[in-house]
Structure 1
Amino acid sequence: MFYRSKAPLRISFAGGGTDIASYSDIYGGNVLNVTINKYAYTHLELREVPQIEIYSQDFESITRIKANKDLQFNGESDLAKGVIKRFYEGSAGLRIVTHNDAPPGSGLGSSSAMVVSLIGAFRELKNLALSPYDIARRACEIERGDLGILGGMQDQYASAFGGFNFMEFQKDHVIVNSLRIDPWVIHELEYNLILAYTRKNRLSSRIIESQVKNVERNDQASLNAMHNLKAHAVEMKKALLTGRPDEFGKLLDYAWQEKKKMAATISNGQLDQIYEDAVKAGALGGKVSGAGGGGFMMFYCESTRKRRVMEALVKAGVEVMSFNFELSGVQSWRSSRELRTPQTVFTKDKFLAA
């Protein structure tokens, strides 16, 4: 029996950064985001051999662990180890294969979606009654607590719930408000939004560390920007719910200008130039998705100018990626079919699927 799961990635429209505990525990945070049809995938199967094997197709790596020994966090497959440590106490061996539709450091919440996907696979294996809130909360505990990875909480909740969500973060609770947006507005957003990969990945923890330090030392410029972004997320939500997508697109520009004030590392010369080129070509607004520094950017433009904006982005060396919105959260299932096992080639610690 094979146990499989997929969890959607997300793009963040407004409020990103206000979901980090150093800020939200004091002031409360608001985030507006949506999931897209790009996923983190997990394949899980039990094995007779008492050994855990974790294959990452993204990093072309394999990690082997004796099932009867404690799992050690050492930088090798730690996300999977964190989930195993919390969800598996059996004596049988495991084989886990993971892969992601987006590269690491993309700004689409791929790492947190992978944790959600892994939890989804174990939920299927063990028939666990876990709600989206349960899955998201445990994913946060694993990443932020067990592994000590800096970051916020929107990625885990977005991937667990799916769809358009307005999220409220407080010290002792999280509320996910699923938005009922008119279908024509959703179609309009898909038609007019451009998702662009800058080909520059970044380590989000360094950017987030700067944001945390700015909050801790009460940096007023950074705090005011975060307060504005939190309020701005409410205005963008209203624009979507009341059928004003063009206004929503213009508000993206404000969100980007305020986000850059949160930390000096959020933008750079390359991102500023890409943004300027897109606006000159006709984009109403846009921003980086995620912590900043690189990864994916999004732009909203009127339909008649979309091709011009795309051409300007390609000329700037950016890869335009097609997408649709995903309105479902993490999904898991079982397969009892006898599937052909891929031929594997082991070269030191490399794993290549032929």
Structure 2
Amino acid sequence: MQTTTLQITKCESSKIDQVNFDKLPFGEIFTDHMFICDYKNGAWSNPRIQPYQPLQIAPSARVFHYGQAIFEGMKAYKDDEGGVWLFRPDQNYERINKSAERMAMPPLPKEYFFEGLHELLRLDQEWIKPGIGNTLYVRPFMIASQAGIIASAAEEFTFMIICAPAQSYFTGSVSVKIEEHYSRAANGGFGYAKAAGNYAGQFYPTQLAKQEGFQQVVWTDATEHKYIEEAGTMNIFVRLKDTLVTCPVSDRILDGVTRKSLLQMAEDMGIKTEVRPIAVSELVKGIASGEMTELFGAGTAAVVSPISGFSYEGKRYELPELSKDSYALRLKNQLMNIQYNRSEDPHGWREQVVTS
């Protein structure tokens, strides 16, 4: 229910008719409106929805100089009857405030986050197309907007939500390079936060990996490079015999919403799960023995992304092609059925925004 504080200014005409929804580049086309609010004098204020447009911001804004910027990644789904749903948005809200705390940024009030999000999705609901694979990618983010280049935490911030229609992020399986030199995050750092700098630091090593023919990098621990941690922008899962294994979260590893959902779903299916450190040597031995049959990444954008092979110490290792009964495909199908309101939701993860 809308409060009297949220101001809505609708665009004069929609640009939706100019979009080819059968061929969508990920994250390049945005809906008609955006949500925005400001933090000044110790409080959030002026929540508003307005037409999507460029920002006017000072060149000396702290975000440009000291990197105070965080974000979230979410999706909205439309079922076959036209209802619009979110998947575990409470987890995204909790995590953006966890990221904010680590980056010396103010927590966002729950009513601003959810009211702005729901009203924005209602306004731009025609941009959400039905059908498995079609989604609206939702990007909440916060930046330090205070002018001035003194090297200290800002006291003024801007929070926004923008949305982009999307299809599948990855198609097919990917080949990855296990990183032996560069690190994504270190103990005591902010790897667990969805901070912009975490992703900027990944781009160069990933570029190098792509030059060698890989699509992604599997990050390893910063101390010894012996244990796997994340796969690009995804959490990583390994199937060893009949056990599904993933790394524990830490101050280096993002606590992924998809990750924790897959773990719960696997347990519901009777699949044995383990959360523990995974050594690279264990993967190499698992390939040789045949005990390792699946390796896949999991995240909001990619959902579940099978990994066909990896490189380590200059040698390439290939995994068998996934069967229809693979853990990766079973979990992906079940997860998407929940997200698109095609199956029961035993844990109450769906949140309806627009009724059919």
Superposition TM-score, scaled by structure 1 size: 0.27
Greater share of residues in helix: 1
